[in-house]
Amino acid sequence: SFAAIEAAGKALLDDGVLEQRVASVKPGDVAQILYTSGTTSFPKGAMVCHGPLLQNNAYAADCMGFDTTDKYLSCVPLFTATGTFYTIALWLAGSTMVITDQFNPQIFCETVERERITGSYFVDTIVQDLKAYPDRDKYDLSSLRTGSGAPLPTASFRWLTETIGMKELVSAYGLSETSNAVVRTRCEDPLEKRAITSGRPCDGVHVRIIDIETGEVLPHSRVGEICVSGYTIMKGYYKRPDEDAKTFDAEGWMHTGDLGELDPDGYLIYRGRVKEMIKPGGFNVATQEIEVFLKTYAGVRQAVVVGVPDARLGEVAYAYIELQDDAHVTEQALIQYCKDNIASYKVPRYVEFVTEWPLTGSQKIKKLELKARAEQTLQARAPQQAEAT
């Protein structure tokens, strides 16, 4: 229990020592080293500081309207950035945190009903699992009003607000390196803004979009790399000055490696990872765009697209597809659907059906692992194809 942890701490150090240590801490001192999730690259230790952690997470609690009456269900490990950030946000708001070991749709529904949970964490894998859970309607989930997490597809966001009834659901975008989100929507923002965008910059944060190739700062409604600066940004990567040099430019802007655009009102729309941008035949294509389209096909529950090498086009799309339980979809039908509705260079060359996803502790899909798997699959096929010809 937390009481036992507190008692163990006091047994090691008396109150006088603790007070001295607290008094010696400055806002700019490193509070934590948070390792990035490694979904698209090798994990790195982001050094985040006391002051930014408190300021940004107090802002997060305010955006979601958390107070002493709220109960938040945490279903991700507390050592993750998400687990850390929301623990601090809820503590600052005086809210209650209910903890489960991991996300499971049955445990989630049981806990929400029993504890009258008002908020939780959502990524699209969690939403899709909830949608597919056959006994969901047996539970009273009406206490849920808000939540946040990684940027959700608009359809998933609307499902939570309309089907589950989370009328104050908010959106956000952030990184381990930014002491929680860099942009957020608020409960009182219009539904269209909350469902489509990730929000406007948090207090003390500045956001701009640059051209990936030229570095030119782009006007609103143009997609480019998201760059951020301000008080809440990390000090740097632990013992990785080489990564710091790659991440921060001469003006102090942190290059996130993510794609996005600012709408005319200054709200950020997340478009995926720069590393997830593929270039078939010289065309720049965000894999997220293909994923969103694939999920419009009847029977498709989840879609993830990665780029794989191609002798002629340089790179092509490889799609992983998870179907709904009662769906019958063929690779040929799905590819034909794409050919009939999107540009030819965006059509996946390969489709692989899966029933499970490799996930991080925060329930994000490990795209780097899927990309490696796709390349291995194609390498294994190559000798067979050569023999056939």
Residue 133 near residue 106 (C-beta atoms within 8 A): yes
Share of the chain above pLDDT 70, in %: 97
pLDDT in tens, 29-60: 999 999 886 555 577 999 999 999 999 999 99
Name the nearest CA neighbour of 36 among 377, 214, 273, 374: 273
Average pLDDT over residues 318-341: 96
- How distant, in Å, are the alpha carbons of 152, 221, 270, 310, 347 from that of 342? 22, 21, 21, 20, 7
- How distant, in Å, are the alpha carbons of 85, 149, 152, 230, 287 from that of 208? 24, 22, 21, 12, 22
Residues with Cβ < 8 Å from 270, sequence gap 6 or more?
151, 173, 198, 226, 258, 259, 260
Q: How does DSSP classify residue 281?
A: G
Residue 386 has pLDDT above 60, yes or no: no
Q: What predicted TM-score, i.e. pTM, was given to this entire model?
A: 0.80
Residue 282 has pLDDT above 80, yes or no: no
Residue 329 has pLDDT above 70, yes or no: yes
Average pLDDT over residues 183-198: 97
pLDDT at 343: 92
pLDDT at 79: 85
Average pLDDT over residues 273-283: 84
CA 113-115-119 angle, 5° bins: 85
- Which tokens sit at 201? 């910059």
Name the nearest CA neighbour of 318 among 370, 282, 356, 275: 370
pLDDT at 389: 47
The pLDDT mean for the chain works out to 93
pLDDT in tens, 64-113: 999 999 999 999 888 888 999 999 999 999 999 999 988 999 999 999 99
What domains are there in the chain, each with its CATH number? 2-273 (3.40.50.12780), 279-388 (3.30.300.30)
Residue 337 has pLDDT above 90, yes or no: yes
Residue 376 has pLDDT above 70, yes or no: yes
The confidence band for 313, taking pLDDT boundaries of 50, 70 and 90, is confident
Residue 387 has pLDDT above 80, yes or no: no
Average pLDDT over residues 163-186: 96
- How distant, in Å, are the alpha carbons of 105, 153, 187 from that of 141? 12, 22, 19
